[in-house]
Each structure stands twice: as structure tokens, then as C-alpha cells.
Amino acid sequence: MTAITHASTVKENHVRHLSHWMNGKLVEGTSGRTADVFNPSTGEVQAKVDLASTDEVNAAVAIAKEAQKVWGAMNPQRRGRILLRFVDLVNENMDELATLLSSEHGKTFPDAKGDIQRGIEVVEFAGGGAAHLLKGEFSTEVGGGIDTHSLRQPLGVVAGITPFNFPAMIPLWKSGPALAAGNAFILKPSERDPGVPLRLAELYTQAGLPDGVFQVINGDKESVDALVNHPDVKAIGFVGSTPIAQSIYTGAAAAGKRAQCFGGAKNHMVVMPDADLDVVTDALLGAAYGSAGERCMAISVAVPVGKETGDALVAKLAEKAALLKVGPSLEAGSDFGPVVTPMAKERIEGLIQQGVDAGATLVLDGRGVQVPGHENGFYVGATLFDHVTTDMPIYSEEVFGPVLAVVRADDFEAALNVVNSNQYGNGVAIFTRDGAAGREFATRVEVGMVGMNIPIPVPIAYYTFGGWKASGFGDLNQHGPDAFRFYTRTKTVTTRWPEGVSEGASFVMPQGS
């Protein structure tokens, strides 16, 4: 006997079974393949998620194609109202969603709420702004009796492929604008924490979204390849690690579709000698260790300028980082929770060892941390390296764990050079009281999102989010007005209403003047 609860079925052995959300309801997978979903705080497998076959993806695309015809033709303000109702429902269910998110991902409950909140802000922007942002342009008398206007039309069926680290925010960043613009959206969330995406699908349906307009297909490479290669999927929005982002961008382009693919990161914080080091230390603790360092905008490298700044900063960091509490994600008092899987833990600990082997100074070692009562959880404590150089793997690799590396620089130019020489260009911060230095930095740094005395400069919903260099492939950013450009195509209509007299055939290129 199985019972349907909150977008999953609970089997007799109490392990939840997460399947797909298709055409407005849960649909059991047919591929016979599943993946484990852990509770990282306890180490237990808490659910099994179906991994879709190509045939299941094809079925979802066919459903989406039909559903989009009606949705795309709807008045954009009506579409927007459904999205705003969805935002209300997410708010009403916030605690339940944050608990589920925290239990699958491992980030703390307040942080899980932040994940959801930053997501619905984009849906709110998209729902409220759709009618305005989809307006075209009109020019009269571009030739004798001729007018021109432009239309922004939906692409049709679009797909989002999203990472584990923001299981609510990124699916919402992608689906909100795509739906507001009149597309049908297929989400392929991370197989590591698919519970919240399925609940979001249920809430979209509850808000009045027509069946088939938002679907969730769980899966791995097979389902991603099926989406990238399907001729009826017109755009791919991807977020994840750089090698996969790059290969999906290439594959989507070869298949003739629009793609924006955001990749990994290595975010630096430059600390100028005039900065208040107590403020800097607190900012670094939150930005480096919050969410166990599993944020694409986490600061993983501090670049203090000058020996005195470096010595003082490392002393303050060492003292305060040692007091941070890593613990179960749903337990009040945990500063940060476990990392997402045992494989992630093993990888992070391996990179820490490589840092030691390469000669960096391990000031604080988070390996082997014990959380009483949760001995099997995937915990890594706060880790701090000093005297890291840019040729060490602990610097060049994206660690994606609670590990902060200090790379010392002699002066402003050397610090800027460290940042600009890195392969990634997602986020960066500078802490200083010198406006001229801040301005110079913001102008010359080769990074997409810059914080001045702000450690995690994630832009607000009505600006756009996107990294440079190996952090982003494609030429439009996520959310803000760019999202509407990405999820629509422009049609330009040139019009003359006949006045009854033909001027005869013309064989020269039409000219405006």
C-alpha cells in the first residue's frame, strides 16, 4: 500500500519515493533506475528518486508543447496573477518547504528560508512585470504610410537544468520569467535534493497554472541529453559545474537552440589595509562557511593587502572560525550544516590534504569533526589555510566546502591581478574605506558581480545575475530584464494599409528615406 503525501509517495519501508510531476500530477517513473537522496545530517538514505528515460522526457515535451499553446496566448497580466498567487502559496508553506529543503540539502533552516525567499522574489518580479517587460516598440511613418512594430513572443517549450546547492532559488529564477513570458517549462532538478522542486510543482498547480505548463522530470545525464537534443525544446537554462555547463552549452548550440549555462566559481575578497578587520572577519565567516561553503557566491579566497593586514586578519579569523558550530541542519544553534553527500565530503577532505601536501599553512583543520548523536552525518568543520599560492590545487580547484584560503598580496595591483588571473569570474568583493580604490577595483575587475563592502553581492531580482569567464556561457544573464530577453524572441512587423493604388513593382532594396 502506498500513500500520496506532499509530492511523494511513501512506501511501506518508510523511504519516500520521488517520481516526476507531469501534466499536473505525480507520475511514477518507468525506467527502473533510481538514485538515493540522503539526509546529510544523519547520513541516512531518506528517499529514492526516479531517473527518467529518454521516452519519459519525450512524453513530457509532447505534453508541454500542447499546454504552451493556450498558456502562451493568454493575456500576460492573467499569467502574472497566477504566478503571484503561487508566491502567496509558497509563503504560506514556507516552514514546511524550508524544513524539507534543509533535510535534503543540509543547509540550516534559516538559510533554507533564504534560498526560497530569493527565489520567489524573482517570480514576484516576473509575475508583476510581465505585461510591461513583454511590450514591444512602435515607430510610425518609417516610410510613406508605413509603420513598424516589434513583438516579444514566447519560445515555446523551454527547459531548466539546475544544481543541488539552491534547490528552490534556481528553479524559481528560471521558471518564473520563462512562465511569465508564456513558455511551458520543464525542470530537471538535481537528483540530490529533488523534494522541494516537486512541492513547487504542486503549488504551481494549486495556484492555477494549467496542467503541463510546469513539469518536473527527475533524472541524470540521460534526461539532460534528451532535453538538449529534443527539437521541440527551444532553450536550455543550465546552472551547475563548469565542465557540464560548457558541454551543455556546446551541445545546445549544435542542436540549434538558445542556451545560457552558468558554471562554477572561485570568489575572492580583497581586504585593503584601511578596512575594519572586525567587520571583514564577520563578513568572511558568513560568506566562506555559510551553507558549508556550498554557494556559487561563497567567498573561498581572502586576499589581504600587505603583511600587517594579512597577519591581523588570519589571527582574527583563526580565533572566530574555531568557535563556529557545525551541526544538524535543523538544530537551532548550528552555524552551518553538513555537506550534501558522502562523496562531497570525501572530495573536500581530499582537497584539504592536497593543500597540506602543496605546502600551504593549515591554520584550522575541519576534517574528522564529530557531531555527537550524528556520527554518520557528512560533516566538515571550518577550515582555514594561510600562505596559499595560486598554483596550489586548493586555490585552483573549486572546493565547494567550508574551506577558506588566504592568498596574500603586496599591494592593490597584485591583489587585482590574483582575481583577474583566475579562470572564474562569478562574484568578488573588496573591503575598503577608500572610495577611489573601490571604484578603481569595480571598474577593472573581470568578474560579473562585485560587492563593495558587501561579501555576497547576489543582485536583487530586478537586476541580472551572471558570472564572466568560466562561470558563464551564453550572452544573457539570469533574472531581471535579461530573463525576458532570453525567454522570448523578437518579431518585427512592417505594415502598410493599402490605399487602393498600386505603385507598380519595385526591384530595388526598400529604403526608409
Footprint of ligand NAD (CB under 6 A)? 161-166, 188, 190-191, 220-221, 224, 239-241, 244, 262-265, 296, 398, 400, 426, 467, 471
| Residue 261 is among the residues annotated as catalytic for this protein | no
What DSSP assignment string belongs to 340-391?
S-HHHHHHHHHHHHHHHHHT-EEEE--TT---TT-TTS-----EEEES--TT
Angstrom distances, CA of residue 53 to CA of 50, 155, 219, 484: 9, 25, 8, 31
- Residue 106: closest CA among 440, 340, 327: 340
Based on DSSP, count helices (H) and strands (E) in the chain, helices before strands.
15, 25
**Dist CA 203 CA 218 (whole Å):** 17
Nearer CB in complex with ligand NAD: 125/238:
238
Do the beta carbons of residue 185 and residue 159 sit within 8 Å?
yes
CB of 212 to ligand NAD, least distance (A): 21
CB of 21 to ligand NAD, least distance (A): 15
CB of 344 to ligand NAD, least distance (A): 8
What DSSP assignment string belongs to 408-452?
-BSSHHHHHHHHHHSSEESEEEEE-S-HHHHHHHHHH---SEEEE
CB of 118 to ligand NAD, least distance (A): 12
**Dist CA 351 CA 293 (whole Å):** 14
In a 10 Å sphere around its CB, with 0-12 CB exposed, 13-18 middle and 19+ buried, how is residue 499 labelled? Answer: exposed
Nearer CB in complex with ligand NAD: 17/174:
174
Nearer CB in complex with ligand NAD: 86/166:
166
Taken as a whole, the chain contains a residue count of 513
CB of 170 to ligand NAD, least distance (A): 6
CB of 30 to ligand NAD, least distance (A): 19
Nearer CB in complex with ligand NAD: 128/176:
176
Q: Which residues of 383-418 are buried (b: 16+ CB within 10 A; e: fewer)?
A: bbbbbbeeebebbeebbbbbbbbbbbbeebeebbeb
CB of 427 to ligand NAD, least distance (A): 9
Nearer CB in complex with ligand NAD: 291/432:
291
Q: Residues 52, 186, 271, 296: which is the catalytic one?
A: 296
* Residues contacting 42, CB < 8 A, separation 6+: 328, 374, 376, 377
φ, ψ dihedrals at 491, nearest 5°: -120, 135
Do the beta carbons of residue 480 and residue 174 sit within 8 Å?
no
Nearer CB in complex with ligand NAD: 82/428:
428
Q: What is the helix (H) or strand (E) element at residue 160, kind and residue range?
A: strand 157-161
Nearer CB in complex with ligand NAD: 40/72:
40
What's the per-residue H, E or C state across 107-151? CCHHHHHHHHHHHHHHHHHHHHHHHHHCCCCEEEEEECCEEEEEE
Nearer CB in complex with ligand NAD: 153/241:
241
**Dist CA 302 CA 324 (whole Å):** 18
Nearer CB in complex with ligand NAD: 152/345:
345
CB of 8 to ligand NAD, least distance (A): 18
DSSP state, residue 460: P
Nearer CB in complex with ligand NAD: 347/367:
347
DSSP state, residue 293: G
CB of 244 to ligand NAD, least distance (A): 4
CB of 234 to ligand NAD, least distance (A): 19
- Residue 450: closest CA among 313, 309, 299: 299
| Three-state DSSP class for residue 164 | coil
Name 493's bridge partners.
149
Residue nearest to ligand NAD (CB): 240
What's the per-residue H, E or C state across 310-344? HHHHHHHHHHHHCCCCECCCCCCCCCECCCCCHHH
Beta strand 184-188 with 157-161 is parallel
Name 412's bridge partners.
none
Active site residues: 296
